[in-house]
């Protein structure tokens, strides 16, 4: 039999648990917003933006040609910026943008974190090239089609570099900055680009950027 004091104690515990849940959700949201605001800032572009592409280990699912896919992603953003953005290779310690190949985890394709390099804003970009960790459907299709696998790695590089340059997520399925959390067919998203290429080298010429992506990068990096 529950006494009045027990009932009050139970109600107090329930209230406390509810408050803890609300606090945890608020903290998670605040951290997420802080992280986005830390990334979504433009880089100084009066001088060339230096970059570094690391080699990857076998455990990451990295293939030797993946570094070239990353390079093509840098070049696609530079071409699309219309003269307002230039990239230049540099050593890891000097580079404003540093691209690394990360271990599979959490079903995520990539991640970008803010970085400070001698007082200048930069970014550390982490790409997960092991497509087997991205779900059975994607893994099965990519295993049977190398060009789809290259598409996924390239577009992930392109998306995360967009964050490094100051672009935030969008809700438009056509954009490279589209966020899968809004829904949409992930397989169709990658398949759309895959249908435009016939050889691996085609990736160097097919940017994967929408008109809106191009407009946003040009708005951020206007030639002086």
Rounding to the nearest 10 degrees, give the CA dihedral for residues 24, 27, 29, 33. Answer: -170
Asked whether 98 and 92 are in contact (CB, 8 A), the reply is yes
Q: What is the pLDDT of residues 49-108, one digit of tens each?
A: 999 999 999 899 999 999 999 999 999 999 999 999 999 999 999 999 999 999 987 668
Q: How many CB atoms lie within 10 A of CB 205?
A: 11
pLDDT of residue 106: 67
| Higher pLDDT among residues 7 and 204, named by residue | 204
Predicted model pTM: 0.82
Give the three-state DSSP class for 49.
strand
Give the residue among 154, 155, 147, 152 at the shortest CA–CA distance from 197. Answer: 147
**Average pLDDT of the chain to the nearest whole number:** 85
| Higher pLDDT among residues 32 and 111, named by residue | 111
CATH superfamily of 40-220: Collagenase (Catalytic Domain) (3.40.390.10)
Residue given tokens 């790695």 in the structure block = 153
- Domain range list for the chain: 40-220
> Can you say how many angstroms the Cα of residue 36 is from the centroid of all Cα atoms in its chain?
11
Read off the DSSP letter of residue 104: P
| Higher pLDDT among residues 44 and 16, named by residue | 44
Bridge partners of residue 111, in order along the sequence: 126
Q: What is the pLDDT of residues 109-120, one digit of tens each?
A: 999 999 999 999
pLDDT of residue 174: 97
């Amino acid at each position: 039999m529950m006494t009045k004091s027990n009932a009050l104690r139970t109600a107090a515990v329930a209230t406390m648990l509810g408050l803890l849940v609300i606090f945890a959700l608020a903290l998670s949201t605040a951290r997420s917003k802080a992280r986005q605001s830390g990334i979504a800032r433009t880089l100084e572009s009066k001088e060339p933006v230096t970059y570094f592409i690391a080699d990857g280990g076998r455990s990451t699912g990295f293939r030797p040609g993946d570094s070239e896919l990353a390079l093509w992603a840098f070049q696609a953003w530079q071409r699309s910026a219309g003269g307002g953005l230039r990239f230049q290779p540099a050593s890891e310690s000097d580079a404003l943008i540093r691209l690394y190949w990360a271990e599979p985890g959490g079903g995520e394709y990539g991640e970008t974190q803010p970085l400070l390099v001698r007082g200048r804003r930069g970014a550390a970009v982490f790409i997960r090239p092991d497509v087997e960790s991205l779900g059975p459907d994607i893994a099965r299709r990519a295993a049977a089609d190398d060009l789809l696998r290259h598409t996924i790695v390239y577009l992930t590089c392109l998306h995360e570099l967009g964050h490094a340059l100051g672009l935030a997520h969008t809700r438009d399925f056509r954009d490279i900055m589209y966020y899968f959390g809004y829904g949409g067919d992930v397989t169709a998203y990658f398949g759309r680009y895959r249908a435009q290429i016939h050889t691996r080298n085609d990736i160097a010429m097919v940017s994967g950027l929408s008109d809106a992506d191009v407009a946003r990068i040009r708005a951020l990096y206007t030639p002086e």
